[in-house]
Every structure is written in C-alpha cells, then in structure tokens.
Amino acid sequence: MFKGVKYVVSENANNLYRIYSIAKYELLADMRDSKLGIFWNFANPAIQVATYWFVFGFVFNRSQIDGIDFLSWMLGGMVIWFFISPCITNGCNAIYQKIGIITKMKFPVSILPATVVLKEVFNHLCLMIVLVVLFAINGHFPSWHWFGLLYYLIAGILFSISLSLTTSVLNMLARDTRKLILACMRLLMYLTPILWDIKTLPAVLQVVMKLNPIYYLVCGYRDCFFFHEGLMFYWKQMLVFWVWTIVLFCVGSTIMYKFRTKFMDLI
C-alpha cells in the first residue's frame, strides 16, 4: 500500500505542469467543438437550477430554510455538486478515454484523474462568479467567511482525485463500472440534502446522511455563504470526510500501482 501511495504522489508531483497542460487542452478542445464555447459552462447549470427551483421552490412552495430564501439556500449547496458530480463521472473514465495515448508511449497514467478534476475547477470558478452576482441580488454579500470556500474546494479536489483513482482503474477492469457510477450519481443527487432540508428526517436517518462525504462539502459551502459557524463546527463530519478521502486514496493508489503496466492488456 505504501509503495502505491508513494508512487502516485511522486508521479503527480513530478508532472504538475503536464497535468495543467492536459487540463487546459481538454478545456479548449471542448470550447472549440461548440460555437457558443464557454457559454455552456454557465447555461447547463443554469437550466438545471431553474428546473429544480421551479419544482422544489415554486411547485412545493418552499420559501425559506433556516432563514435563507430557498433559491439562495439551494444554490449554496448545488454549486459544489456541479463541481463534484462531473469530477466523479468523468474521472471514472479518465484512463479509458486516454487509452490511445497510453498504448503508444510511456505515460504517467496516475495523473489522468487529476487532469479531469483540474478541468472542472475552471468550470467551477466560472459558476462561482455568476453565483456571487445572484447572491448579491438576493442580499447575500461576500465576507471574510467566504475564504473558507478555498478549504472546501481543496477538500473536494482531493476527494474527487482519490475516488477517481479507484474508479478509473475499476472501469478498465469492468466497463460496467462507469454505468454504475452514473446511476449512483443520479440517485445521490436526491439522497444528498441539496434540494431538501435534512432536519425533516428522523434523527437516526440524519446520522446516516451525515456519513455521506459530499454532504460535508455541501454544509461547508452553505456555512461559508450564509451561517458563518466556522470550519470546526462540523468537526464530526470533517473526520468522516477525511477518513473517506484517505481510505479511497490509499485503495486507489494501491490498485493503480498494481495495474500500472497492465492497462494495455485490459483493452
């Protein structure tokens, strides 16, 4: 296990510029494939947000949660979901998508999940700009508490890379892995208290829901935006989150190290 962790950390640290270059190339390639380019980085999330707001805010008439208007409360949680979700679904396919390069040259395979996540960081920052404007319109202005978002973003990056290390290798071993991940993410969208208040559940189910590492990030973002309780307010969820992240990274690094020379045989 320690060999695998050392191998992955070393390979990523030695290829930071390559990670940046690949992520930049992929981002520009996506924009070149569309006439509207970067517009879709904003349009797709905006359409989803409008749909969820209409259903959960307008149809079900939810006006406020914890003193925050429903649209702002929902956006505060959904912004990190829009980052995590593509990181996980695309990260699962990170190796298979680049199999042509891997078979033709010696390539540091373990950096591929990081390239996917870095690409999504740019999309996330674009969405954050729009969110700041929307919050200002609704009376929620930036404060020094928002600096805590940097911690939660870094936490989300590390979690996404750790999970993608595992799933990208499993996807090479069994192609059904990505389909399973896609199905699970659709389910997780509604199981994670992003569109509804966790306080509506019985106490036992609340405890179960708080074991979800993504919910920790959702809580963290909302706290930075609205409640300003501080990073240690959710210390129990923080502990669970980092246990998840470390375990996933160790498992992912181990199997990445084990199969690093066998990916061509798995095609």
Question: CB-based contacts of 53: which residues, under 8 Å, 6+ apart?
Answer: 70, 71, 74
Q: pTM value? A: 0.92
Write out the DSSP string of 114-151: HHHHHHHHHHHHHHHHHHHHHHHHTT----GGGGHHHH
Q: What is the largest CA-CA distance in the chain?
A: 57
The SS3 assignment for 35 reads coil
Give the residue-averaged pLDDT of 88-110. 87
Give the residue-averaged pLDDT of 131-148. 87
In the numeric block, which tokens belong to residue 141? 């202005």
Strand ranges for 32-110 from DSSP E: 64-65, 68-69
Q: What is the pLDDT of residue 14?
A: 94
Give tens-digit pLDDT for 10-31.
Answer: 999 999 999 999 999 988 887 7
Nearest alpha carbon to residue 171 among 85, 111, 98, 83: 98
Q: How many CA atoms lie within 13 A of 166 on its CB side?
A: 16
Number of domains in the chain: 1
Phi, psi of 68 (to 5 degrees): -110, 135
Give the residue-averaged pLDDT of 190-201. 88
Q: What is the pLDDT of residue 255?
A: 93
Give tens-digit pLDDT for 205-246.
Answer: 999 999 999 999 999 999 999 988 888 888 999 999 999 999
- Among left, alpha and beta (phi > 0; psi -120 to 50; other), residue 143 is beta
The SS3 assignment for 99 reads helix
Please measure the distance between the N-terminal and C-terminal CA atoms of the chain and give it in whole angstroms: 25
- Domain containing 245 equals 2-266
Radius of gyration (Cα) for the chain, nearest Å? Answer: 19
Tell how far CA 162 is from the center of its chain: 11
More confident position, 117 or 191: 117
CA–CA gap between residue 86 and residue 80 (Å, rounded): 11
Tell how far CA 232 is from the center of its chain: 21
In the numeric block, which tokens belong to residue 178? 């990505």
pLDDT at 196 exceeding the cut of 90? no
**Locate tokens 């990081």: which residue?**
114
Q: For the beta carbon of residue 227, count every other beta carbon within 10 angstroms.
A: 15
Cα–Cα distances in angstroms (integers) from residue 39 to residues 42, 49, 126, 136, 239, in the given order = 6, 16, 10, 22, 38
pLDDT at 114 exceeding the cut of 90? yes
